[in-house]
Structure formats: structure tokens, C-alpha cells
Amino acid sequence: MGILLRPNYFSVDEERLNQLSNMDRKKYLQKIQILKYIYQNEVATVSEIFTTVGISSPTGLILIKELIADDILEKKGKGESNGGRKPDTYLLKDATFYIVSIDMEKFRTRAVILDNNNNFITTIHTLGKGISKDESTLPDLYTFINELISSSKIDKSRLVGIGISMPGLVDGEAGMNYTYLRPERKEKTLQQVLEEVFGYPVFLQNDVKCAAIAESKYGLAKGISDALVVLMDWGVGLGIIMDGKMRKGSRGFSGEVGHIPLMDEGALCYCGKKGCLETVASGVALARMAKEGIKSGQHSLLNELSDYEVEKIEPHLVIDAANRGDQYAISILSVVGNNLGKGIATLVQLFNPELIILGGKMAEAKQYITIPIIQAINTYSMTEIRENTRIDTSELGQDSCILGVASMVINSIIERQVKFAEL
């Protein structure tokens, strides 16, 4: 069986599985379930594996021995003991398989190849082009990713999938982004278009949800049942973790907090409504306020940092100026933080989270954005609801989406293999 399913358990298709006997198919399903449990828990004892997968100790030991022989599992060492001998623990072997993790932003695209244990096989490569409304970005993306794969020198038979984190209304199940990268051929989904060109399974997810996945698995939300992840970049997005699970909504569109109207007769948002939270509490709002202030004669380091070209001012320049002590930059960050805090106060009332994680580029402003956010939350939410809510900035930084999309791909690949084996 091991020979039939090599070189990779995670890229076995339905046709190959249909060639197996019922007994071998059952063994394959049990092995995938074992690997799923170990991946989700990083390391596991044999008793944990047998209990979760629901297999007997003799059968489980045989399967584990075969997985070790197939160069997929390895023994890590001894685990904690509740009395008696310490149990053996197992983990997935490095470089069992690879995934390409892509983070598409408004003005740039980053990509890296990782293995199943989140080891970076390549450095993060950056393309100076971001996401587009139509397919115009895709040719550059294809070239960029193909060059990344070719230069990595990995065994391509072990590359099991490509994941893409992106802004917009992303329905991962349907393989569509209803805001960006809309296919010209209406009969094909974005996922299908990408899979045709790349020749690998492709998985799509909204950027904030990828950040939430990463925070839940690797970051501050690990072990937390109820947390909110607020991504503060050009826009504002929300990842919702409730009862230990990320909540996507019926079509994957949950968390569009940036488009909740906050201001009466406010500025027109690109979504078509007036006064959305994003118009007063986002990177777009921050850059707009900075430009307006400089044009009206405000004295600020922003003039120097933008080479005296006001239209070049972007959020990172405002944050840089604030961190250098520029009072005007600090003041507009405070305004944006206060507006964002009002929006988050509403979320506190709705979800009563244990933890709120602030991430994205604007989180790099640190206390200049977090203090006004906290002050607004204290002002606009009920004491009894917010008093046990902790607010912190992400420790994963700009890698959160990269890590989250990789985890999403691996879980999707494993679930797909389980589904194939259960047919």
C-alpha cells in the first residue's frame, strides 16, 4: 500500500483510491485521520491518537510503524506521564509535503513555500503588484509563483497545494472573490481559473480570516475560546473566533465591520454607502486626513518623509512620523484610533470576547493607536461586559496571513483526502 500511495499521501486522488481494496482503503483513511490529529496538535502520544481516531492499540501501532517506514512520521521523544512509563510522542516529519502560501494585498503580493511543519523553505518573495478588480494581475502572479517554485528546488511531487489570502468578499467554498479578481469567463470560478494555470489544487480565503486562523493556531488566541482579530490596514476587517472555532458565516462573508455605517452624512465609501467605519478608521482615512492637513498648512515631518509630494503620503509614513514624535501624526492617529474604538466597542457588546487582537500595518503605530482605541472602548461599552476583555497587538506581525493561509491549505487538503477515502 505504501508504494501505491507514494510519493505523497496528501495528493492521492479518487481514481487511485478506487484501485484499493476495501481493507487498504480503510487503512488509508485511518492513516489520514492519524496525520490530521497530529498536524492539528503538532505532537501526540499513541493513546491520544488511538482514542481520537477510534482504533485499537494493535492496529494503531501497525499504522504508525508503516507511517514511519513511509518517511511521514517520526518519534519526537517522551511525553508527560500520569504515573508509570512516559509515553512515546510522534510528529509529522519535516518536508513531508509543501504548500505555496500567497498573501495578496492592495499594492503588493508576498509568497513563500512552507513545509507541513511551517518551516520556511524559501524566504518571503515580494511582487510589487497587488490585487486587481479583474484578471489583469493574474499573468504577473503566474510568472511570480512559477519562478518561486522553480527556484526553490523542491521535489514538486510533494507540493500539494497553493493558498491565497486576499481582501474582499471571499467565498472559499465556492472558490470566488466577489470583490476582486473577477473572472472574465463567467462559467468558471476564480479557483478553477487558477487551478488550470498552476496545475495544483488552489484554496482561497479572506485575509482577515487567515489572520484569525494564524492567531488561533500560533498566536495570542491559541487556547482562547472567544477572541476577535481586528486587521487594520487600508481597510478594517474582523476575524471572529467563538467557542474555539472561526466563524465564517453562511457564505464566508462574516466580519465586514468596516462597512457598518458609523457616521451620519459621512464620506462616501467605495462600497457605495456613506459614513462607513472604514471612511474614518482605516489606512485610507489616515492617509486622507494626513494629506488634507498638510495641504491646509500643518507643520509635520510628513512633508519631509514624502519628499514634499503630498499625494505620496501613505499610512506607513504617518506611523513612521508618529514614532519619531511628530505631533500632527500622533494627533490624527488618535482620531482614527478613537473612531475605530467606537466600532470595536459595539463588537464587545455583541460578542463579549475574552481577547481582542489588533493586527495589520496600523498596529505598528503601537501606543499611538492602541491607547485611543482602549479609551473609546472604555467609553462606549458596558463595564460588566468589557472588564474581562484583554486587548493586545499581534505578535505574528505581517506573517499572520502567510501562516494562516498555509494552515488553511493543509487542513483543506487533509479534509479532502478524508472525504475521498470515505466515499
- Give pLDDT tens digits for 222-241: 999 999 999 999 899 999 99
Cα–Cα distance for residue pair 179/169, rounded to 1 Å:
6
Q: Which of 92, 117, 142 is the last residue of a domain?
A: 92
- Give pLDDT tens digits for 237-283: 999 999 999 999 999 999 999 898 877 777 888 887 888 899 999 99
Confidence bin at 335 (pLDDT 50/70/90) = very high
Q: What is the total count of domains within the chain?
A: 3
Cα–Cα distance for residue pair 55/336, rounded to 1 Å:
55
User: Do 236 and 309 have their domain in common?
Assistant: yes
User: Do 88 and 130 have their domain in common?
Assistant: no
Residues 6+ apart with CB under 8 A from 348: 356, 377, 381, 385, 386, 389
Top-confidence residue, 268 or 92: 92
Indicate whether 215 belongs to any domain: no
User: Do 378 and 411 have their domain in common?
Assistant: no
- Give pLDDT tens digits for 160-172: 999 999 999 999 9
- What is the pairing mode between strands 98-104 and 109-115? antiparallel
Q: Which of 58, 92, 126 is the last residue of a domain?
A: 92
Range of the structural domain that residue 70 is part of? 2-92
- Give pLDDT tens digits for 367-400: 999 999 999 999 999 999 999 999 999 999 889 9
pLDDT given for residue 325 in this prediction? 94
User: Do 195 and 283 have their domain in common?
Assistant: no
Indicate whether 360 belongs to any domain: yes
Dihedrals φ, ψ of 360, to 5°?
Answer: 95, 175
Q: Which of 40, 71, 92 is the last residue of a domain?
A: 92
pLDDT given for residue 110 in this prediction? 98
User: Do 106 and 198 have their domain in common?
Assistant: yes
Q: Mean pLDDT over residues 284-309, rounded?
A: 90
Which residue from 18, 10, 9 is spatially nearest to 70, judged by alpha carbons? Answer: 9
pLDDT given for residue 275 in this prediction? 81
Share of the chain above pLDDT 90, in %: 71
Question: Coil, strand or helix: which one is 72?
Answer: coil
Indicate whether 50 belongs to any domain: yes
pLDDT given for residue 183 in this prediction? 85
Per-residue pLDDT at 336 exceeds 70: yes
Mean pLDDT of the chain: 91
Can you give the CATH number for the domain in which 148 is found? Answer: 3.30.420.40
Per-residue pLDDT at 3 exceeds 80: no
Residues 6+ apart with CB under 8 A from 115: 94, 95, 96, 97, 98, 99, 121
User: Do 285 and 196 have their domain in common?
Assistant: no
Cα–Cα distance for residue pair 61/69, rounded to 1 Å:
12
User: Do 171 and 233 have their domain in common?
Assistant: no
- Give pLDDT tens digits for 20-36: 888 888 888 999 999 99
User: Do 385 and 260 have their domain in common?
Assistant: yes
Confidence bin at 348 (pLDDT 50/70/90) = very high
Indicate whether 216 belongs to any domain: no
Confidence bin at 7 (pLDDT 50/70/90) = very low
pLDDT given for residue 372 in this prediction? 97
Can you give the CATH number for the domain in which 11 is found? Answer: 1.10.10.10
